[in-house]
A and B are shown apart, each in its own frame.
Chain A
Amino acid sequence: MKIGLRRIIELSLFSTLIIALHAIESLINPTFFRLGLGNALILYLLLKKDVSSAFLTVLLKIAASGFITGSIVSPVFLAISAASMSSFAVMVIFIKVFRTGPIGASVPASCAHNAIVLISAELVIKGIFSSLFPFIFVFSIFSGILTGTAAYAIFISLKNLDTKQDVYKINL
């Protein structure tokens, strides 16, 4: 896959923003059940750019967040990676197949993410999935709507921004 300079800069920019949001959320809420506002940028990439750019950004986010939170050498990292990948897959399916907007993709993605985290926790504490899933499901719907709305706000704020021109300015 050929990656041009413009794409590298765009991916770096988006990855940095996502990792920064993730780090801030980790500081505020140390549990696994966060709002996941960084996913708003993934949604933007999926709707405005292409799947491969969004996928690369997700991979960068998983790796970087593992290093930042120190979970990269722990089994928790596997659970978080699986959850992030599954939520990305759900986003792609809902946007590309079912033709939903950011909210319509974000809600099921958030539910999938938290379901995978609970399934991973089930391996350690038996019965936690069936006990907590209804509560986490409601939380996921709210966080999904919030993230989708944030993605919509990004569309509004970036609608007049021509990234191509900005990159040329950087090259000069």
Chain B
Amino acid sequence: MRKIFRKYPYPADYIVIALFISLSVFFFAKKLKNTSMAFFAVVETFSGEKQVIGLFNDTVLEVRGKIGITKVEIHAGKARILSSPCRRKLCERRGWISASWESSACLPNGVWLYITGEKTGIDAVTF
């Protein structure tokens, strides 16, 4: 027991703490580089069906809407409506969304895609 007090804290303790603090800085730096505090993409349909997917979980979702299937792509912290059976394809033209509370909707098919997370920045700019 006396040994513990004489030697405490052990040199290994300092090494472990320094290592883990460095790791946390690395993880934070990596996260801040990849995202602006946006965490999840949410896909809602006209029927009330809701899917929540992490923005860094690269995937393509197929969502059944009123007139067919809408494909939603999530890739590297961004999300977009990849394809939809609507006529004018406005939702596809909206392109990638990545900031918190940005959204993209296909009204004819009743599919709504939006990003959740901490609200940052400006909602919109108009002239």
A: which residues have CB within 8 A of B? 47-48, 94, 98-101, 103-105, 107-108, 111, 125-134, 137-138, 141, 144-145, 148, 152, 155, 159
Contact = CB atoms under 8 A, between A and B. Distances in A.
B27 A127 contact: no
A5 to B, nearest CB: 23
Given A126-B53, A137-B24, A152 B8 contact: yes
Nearest to A149: B9
Most chain B beta-carbon contacts within 10 A, residue among A105, A127, A144: A127
B17 interface: yes
B55 A127 contact: yes
B108 interface: no
A99 B10 contact: yes
A125 B50 CA distance: 12
Given A101-B10, A155-B4, A134 B31 contact: yes
B123 interface: no
Contacts of A133: 27
Contacts of A134: 24, 27-28, 30-31
A134 B12 CA distance: 23
Contacts of A127: 39-40, 53-57
A131 B40 contact: yes
Interface in B7-27: 7-10, 12-17, 20-21, 23-24, 27
Nearest to B31: A134
A138 B13 contact: no
A104 B28 CA distance: 22
11 contacts: A100-B16, A108-B16, A126-B57, A127-B57, A129-B54, A130-B57, A131-B54, A131-B56, A141-B20, A141-B24, A159-B5
A23 B5 CA distance: 31
Interface residues on chain B, size class: 20 to 34
Contacts of B107: none
Given A101-B12, A127-B39, A145-B17, 6 more contacts: A104-B12, A127-B56, A137-B20, A141-B17, A141-B24, A155-B5
A138 B28 contact: yes
B125 interface: no
A6 B95 CA distance: 70
A108 B10 contact: no
A26 B9 CA distance: 30
Nearest to A129: B54
Contacts of B17: 103-104, 107, 141, 145
B118 to A, nearest CB: 11
Contacts of A159: 1, 5
A101 B4 contact: yes
Contact of A104 (B16, B52, B57, B59): B16
Q: Which 3 A-B pairs have the closest CB atoms?
A: A127-B54, A104-B13, A127-B57
